[in-house]
Amino acid sequence: MSDTNLVYTYAVLRRTPEAAAATAHLRGVAGEPIHLVDPAVSGPQLAFAVGHVPPADYADVPLQAHLADVDWLESTVRTHHAVVAALVASGAAVLPLRLATVYRDEDRARQALDTRRGYFLSLLDRLTGHVELGVKIYAAPDITPPEADPDPVQDPVTGLGVGRAYQVIRRRRQRRNEEAWRTVAHAAARLTDTAGALAVDRVAHTPERGSLAGTAPGTNVAYLVPADRVVAFRAGILAAAQGVPGLRVEITGPWAPYSFALQPEPHEEPAA
């Protein structure tokens, strides 16, 4: 390992024999072996899971260029997550760090553990025994497009005259479309209430295209769920969505609690 390499940190965790053993066979974003780094002075209760990575890729300027490369970014995200997932699978309480959290050297990493020890421990206490589940709600009710309106001359409502008949048909279709959206929105609201009752916290993310943006709350939400409620959470969400035409729900996870770790944004020592 080169002394000029940077220290890429994957997660904060409690040091346990199981966590140490889990790192023994892991490789990181640069193919590097993963190991644990302890605090400088506050004892081995906490540790960073780290790897040494080359400045040519992970110093500030080349890193910014890499982050604009979709293929590089996807590969790095997958490997970063694989390291965190392996640590979680070992039974360790893990705070996953943001992608490309880099320190100049291990001394800087140790100092960060000392400086933020109380913060890290309080988060670990809060998140131990919990996982993150994502819930996305998509709406596709049966909407009749305006161009599908029939020729009013051919419609049975001809007794009103062409202009009046056309307006009546348009209003009917508009009411049906509005009712379809209301039905889906109300179901989405019930689903969100169900999720909130089974979770202990939530973080709303930007709704994706095609979701119920602006129509119902909770269209793209990460939930913090006790590990022993995961099955009940999934069942409750799916039951709330069942039988509602035009409502599609996607549940992802369980994951390490990325959305609930390390908030607000921590100050990281620049790598350059």
Residues 211-249 pLDDT 10s: 454 444 447 889 999 999 999 999 999 888 887 777 788
Question: What is the spatial order of strands in the sheet that 35-37 belongs to?
Answer: 35-37, 46-53, 6-14, 94-103
Tell me how far apart the alpha carbons of residues 48 and 97 are, in angstroms, rounded to a whole number.
10
Token digits of residue 104: 């100049």
| Structure-derived torsion over alpha carbons of residues 226, 231, 233, 236, reported in degrees to the nearest 10 | -160
> What pLDDT, on a 0 to 100 scale, did the predictor assign at position 213?
43
CA distance 146 to 148: 5
Residues 248-267 pLDDT 10s = 888 998 989 988 886 544 43
Low-confidence ranges of the chain (pLDDT < 70): 1-3, 42-44, 140-170, 172-184, 207-218, 262-272
65: amino acid identity, one letter: A
C-alpha torsion 72→206→100→9, nearest 10: -130
